[in-house]
Structure 1
């Protein structure tokens, strides 16, 4: 998907792994896993527990892909976590080789109704990756950036650099690329920045603007913030604005690894979109296709559990789930613990 000739085509994808993606399975008419309702998913997890998740992982890891670019000598230092590789097939390439090579730790991931809807990217961690990050933004032209990380860890130590300006009208330069913050809206749990990218590498200067939403309260990969669904609602409004303005670029989701939180948030967005449109869930196929497009996604049981719990909360608050069914599941859990 990084280049037109290499796109993993999903026909009107809706994140169904059986719809034409060459890394996925042949579609059967009775696609049971895809057509499970939220109530059936909850019951399956409650009854099967970790064994179900292990079955999912076996399916996900059936077809290994190449990861050559990320282990090349000139690129190794650009990977913050050496155990998180990058698939070659759908990596996002920087297309301005006069300022450096084409490598950044980022992948295209399909959305509910659009191929390459998201770019899942590692957050910059030094001055070199900061420069490469904005080069990537300048060439990929995302319609917004969603940053899921605090800049400081629990001990007050810098976890990711402040790679954008937090002051209005402030500007940073990366050679002939300038990044300026135009507007700031500080909210309780997240901040919204309107950012202008000015690229002077061309004979005619190119300029475009986008929103950067910083969810500064997300501090742990294995723990979902309390207000994640509120944040997703805020994000949805911004996403609708980009649709109205006909911004065609992908949504860039950034976290320290570019994998754990970013993949979780993409999955939440995809699954809720499907629930709203079809009243179907598709947790397993959603996780499968994201995992095949972004290395290391959903490798921990907690990630699956958090995903199911968050989707359940959404369905309960939206009156989608059968509450009696949910109560029966809770009773089963209590009996198992006795």
Structure 2
């Protein structure tokens, strides 16, 4: 079933499709559209928005309540990552697709696992979506020694993780340590009847970002090359409660650019 609103008028539906990302329209485009269509254009925009407000039914399912790290951080149905599963709750993990700079749903923003159940589901999500990179943006403990996130990954070849309930196995293959972050490479396999499928995914564990409102100061000098404001606006619409401060996205963008340089995607 599509998450898009079912509109009764074909013209309104066409207008909605064209203007779904209205924040990318130039002021002149908006003026021209209103000049051409008059007040009815504004009425159509308004009716489209209120006809289908964001839903979060899966987030409210009782069986999913224990899978939410924070009860006040809702998950939109329209952008959530749906896992494979036949029973209610099997397809749920608190994660959202967000648009990247060159494609829709290019990134996934997710909560960190906080217990055995969410740890198993997290790695199942990684296996099913096969991302090119995992970035963990916090240390496991703050300076006072309080735990911030569960240590949900293996750190050595002897410390593999098995999740029998989902047939997922996570193996450490190699890693490295830098002053600000640790780098891991994982082999993730899923045992199915008669065969084993394996993927390889790297993870960057950035350890310097400990407190939400205190942003690390080691930013890349060319971060202004990234369209931070526009992208942050899109992310906030697709992942509730994310990017509360502009500086949050600025720092995330730096990490992405850092990876792009390290892998040769772009030149410094």
Structure 1 and Structure 2 fold alike (TM over 0.5): yes
Distance in 2, matches of 1:309 and 1:127, equals 30
Answer yes or no: is 1:154 the counterpart of 2:99: no
Say whether 1:87 aligns with 2:70.
no
Instruction: Figure out how many residues of one structure are paired with residues of the other and give that number.
Output: 222
Tell me the SS of whatever aligns to 2:234: helix
Gaps of 5+ in 2: 6-15, 31-48, 254-268
The residue that corresponds to 1:304 in the other structure is 246
Bigger proportion of residues as strand: 2
Give the superposition deviation at 1:298. 3.4
Aligned equivalents of 2:250, 2:201: Cα separation in 1? 31
Partner residue, 1:287? 232
CA shift for structure 1 position 220: 1.2
Gaps spanning 5+ residues in structure 1: where? 9-17, 33-60, 234-267, 312-338
Q: In structure 2, what is the equivalent of residue 30 of structure 1?
A: 28
Pick one of 85, 95, 108 that aligns with 1:119: 108
- Give me the whole-angstrom Cα distance separating, in 2, the residues matched to 1:20 and 1:203: 47
Change (3 A) 1:308 1:98: closer
Report the TM-score when normalising by structure 1.
0.58
Per-residue deviation at 1:203? 3.3
**Of 201, 205, 208, which residue of structure 2 is paired with 1:217?**
208
Q: Name the residue aligned to 2:134.
A: 145
TM-score (normalizing by structure 2): 0.72
Query: CA 1:309 to 1:298, structure 2 compared with 1: closer, same or farther past 3 Å?
Result: closer
How far off is 1:305 after superposition? 5.3
- Whether the aligned pair in 1 keeps the contact of 2:3 and 2:77 (CA below 8 Å) is no
What does 1:1-338 correspond to in 2, within 5 Å? 6=3, 20=18, 22=20, 24=22, 27-28=25-26, 30=28, 64-97=53-86, 101-175=90-164, 176-229=167-220, 275=225, 281=227, 283=229, 285-299=230-244, 303-304=245-246
